[in-house]
Amino acid sequence: MCDALQLPIVDLSSPDRFSTANSIRQACIDHGFFYLVNHGVDEELVNEVFEQSSKFFSLPIEEKMKVIIKNYNGYSPLFAGKLDTTLSTKGDSKEGFYVSQLAGDLNQWPLEEDLPSWRSTIETYYQLLSAGTKLLSLIALSLKLDEDFFEKVGAFNEPLAVYYIIQVDSSNEEIYGASAHSDFGMLTLLVTNGVPGLQICREKSEQPQVWEDVPSKSGAFIVNIGDMMERWTNCLFRL
């Protein structure tokens, strides 16, 4: 049985930037995860993203396969990946859709007649990077760096957006929607529709490992650092 974990809450709208930066620093040292509230992303847009995502994943498989993933853009089918390669399962029980930089022609989109609002909704959501960029400036402050440090090095120039749905069946096989892993990038902002499933292990070297449930929080992003941030901070910030 897993225990529910209460993560720290960081208010992005707080006028006291140094206090907020210190809160982020402590959260990243203790957990590597925290809730981000008052981030400025409209709840109606988030709900529309979930609605459009549901419509896409409900398309027939032959339609989704027309935009099969290429260069980290497009549709990733069920069981296409396995984040924990030590497992004997056939793959992670999830479908995904990946979107990268909007400029150029790397992204793949379903036909407009199939999903009229899909592309415009996803592009609008992708462009709302103010939460990420503002958060990066606070993380820089938390590390005693200039506020624009990460902006100057281009750390948020090409973010990757991933939309996915977990599939659960009634078989006796152990099912993992996204098996044990750490995110390979710098920073992840996760929003859920309230469906439980996210767990974290704070002491990975201990045996047996203890996994704790991370409850969703209405109106909040769940933020976690990735491999790059752990490495850049010489493991001060933990995964």
Query: Given strand 212-213, what is the order of strands in its sheet?
Result: 3-4, 212-213, 199-200
CA distance 146 to 55: 43
- Can you give the pLDDT of all 239 residues of the chain as single tens digits? 455 678 999 999 999 999 999 999 999 999 999 999 999 899 999 999 999 999 999 999 999 999 999 988 999 998 888 888 888 788 888 999 999 877 678 889 999 999 999 999 998 988 776 678 889 999 999 999 999 998 888 877 777 788 777 766 555 566 788 888 889 888 999 998 888 788 888 887 788 888 888 998 999 999 999 999 999 999 999 87
Domains belonging to the chain, first-starting first, are 9-232 (2.60.120.330)
Question: What is the reported pTM?
Answer: 0.89
- Compute the distance between CA of residue 216 and CA of residue 90 in angstroms, rounded to an integer: 28
